[in-house]
Amino acid sequence: MKRVLITYRLKPEGLTVLNDKYELTLPKDRSFFSREEVLELIPEYDVLVPNFSFFTDKEIMDRGVNLELISNFGVGFNNIDVDYATRKGIVVTNIPKTTREPTAEFAFALLLGAARRIGYYDRKIRTPQGVSWGTYTDAGLPVFGKTLGIIGMGRIGQSLARRAVASGMNIIYNNRNRLAEDIEKQYSARFVSKDELLKTADFISLNAPSTPETYHMIGEKEFNMMKQTAVFINTARGDMVDEKAMLKALKENRIWAAALDVFENEPHILPELLELDNVLLAPHAGTKTLEDRIAMSVEMAQNIVGFYEGTYPISRVN
């Protein structure tokens, strides 16, 4: 029987496909196994299931002398040293299907929330001094008719574009490769250079993966190119943005607002960010609904069964 080590407490409803045929170990009384616990346990296991924030590096793989498969509980796989896994003959899989719509939904919710200042109003209305009910004070920004620039027009980027078009937005995008014409037509999307996107979009959403190439791809220079009324949304990965430069741009009102689900050093958030009214913050919650997290577990578990039994198609990263 193959032994599976899951670093994160997943609900049994999402793991039924593994029942009886695989031996599962997962934390029962808390959310995560610590790195030290995983290092201690790993030599006995054939499969490791890290969640998207568990750093699966050389040390983990070298200790995992029986490791055949890393079945990532996430679509982004920057938490795994994939090159090293490949050299060791360890297969890595991810979950692109079930992460797509919830993340796009959340990115659009952040966009609306930041533009219409929902988090700010909610915070203010609860305080003793209350919120201003004046005609113009603390006004938000309209979304209808505005331009959304998407950097990384893959699965999530395209699903975000679909929502934005339905809400009356125009789409421009930058991607590693230009999309096929029929896909561009589907979203009425126009391919532009990254610089043009940064200069002309009213809303800018980051939806590319974290790679060495995309590290700090949005920094001081990029924030300086944006409109002063721009809203920046990041549901991709924190390390793709120079957080100090972003903080400066927000403090100096170089841009209008940011809506952030991801951070450079999660779960640590720059304390100064917490003090700004033009920032909407979330705890890496792009896929965080019970229904979606269970669907993600099913996709992850099917990758394991597919790998060993060939009964499901698997999403291989290497």
* Residue ranges in contact with ligand O=CC(=O)O by CB under 6 A: 52, 74-76, 99, 286-287
Judged by CB under 6 A, how many residues of this single chain contact ligand NAI?
31
Based on the residue annotation, tell me whether 68 is a catalytic residue of this protein: no
Applying the rule CB under 6 A, the residues between 213 and 232 that interact with ligand NAI are 213-214
The amino acid at residue 79 is: N
| Site for ligand NAI contains 284 (CB under 6 A) | yes
Q: How far is the CB of 86 from ligand O=CC(=O)O (least distance, A)?
A: 20
Q: Decide if residue 116 touches ligand NAI (CB under 6 A).
A: no
* 79 binds, options ligand O=CC(=O)O, ligand NAI, none, Cβ within 5 to 8 A by partner type: none
Q: Is 266 a catalytic residue?
A: yes
Contact 52, 29 (CB under 8 A): no
Q: Is 103 in the site for ligand NAI (CB under 6 A)?
A: yes
Half-sphere exposure of 195 (CA within 13 A, CB side): 1
Tokens describing residue 75: 């679509």
Q: Is the peptide bond before 212 cis (omega within 30 degrees of 0)?
A: no
Q: Which of residues 241-280 bind ligand NAI (CB under 6 A)?
A: 261-262
* Sheet hosting strand 91-93, strand order edge to edge: 22-25, 2-6, 47-49, 69-71, 91-93
Distance CA 209, CA 234 (A): 11
Instruction: State the distance between the two ends of the chain, measured CA to CA, in whole angstroms.
Output: 25
- The SS3 of residue 174 is strand
The stretch among 34-42, 134-142, 185-193, 205-213 that binds ligand NAI (CB under 6 A) is 205-213
**Interface with ligand NAI, residue 293, by CB under 6 A:** no
Judge whether 36 counts as a catalytic residue.
no
* DSSP helix/strand/coil, 5: strand
Residue 156 touches which member of ligand O=CC(=O)O, ligand NAI, none, C-beta under 5-8 Å by kind = ligand NAI
- Other beta carbons within 10 angstroms of residue 119's beta carbon come to 18
- Cβ neighbours of 177 (radius 10 Å): 7
Instruction: Note whether 47 binds ligand NAI by CB under 6 A.
Output: no
Q: How far apart are the C-alpha atoms of 304 and 17, rounded to whole Å?
A: 9
The catalytic position among 23, 68, 264, 266 is 266
Smallest gap from Cβ 184 to ligand NAI, in A, equals 13
Could you tell me the two tokens for 43?
């030599």
Cβ 51 vs Cβ 76: under 8 Å: no
Q: Is 303 in the site for ligand NAI (CB under 6 A)?
A: no
Q: Which does 96 bind (CB under 5 to 8 A by kind): ligand NAI, ligand O=CC(=O)O, none?
A: ligand NAI
237, 243, 293, 299: the catalytic one is: 237
Please compute, for residue 128, the number of CA atoms within 13 A of its CA located in the half-sphere on the CB side: 0
- Shortest spacing between CB 84 and ligand O=CC(=O)O, in angstroms: 19
Contact between 205 and ligand NAI (CB under 6 A)? no
Cα three-residue angle 282-224-192, rounded to 5 degrees: 85
If the CB atoms of residues 47 and 206 are measured against ligand NAI, the closer one turns out to be 206
- The identity of residue 233, as a single letter, is I
Active site residues: 237, 266, 284
Which positions lie near ligand NAI, rule CB under 6 A? 75-76, 96, 99-100, 103, 151-157, 174-177, 207-210, 213-214, 235-237, 261-262, 284, 286-287
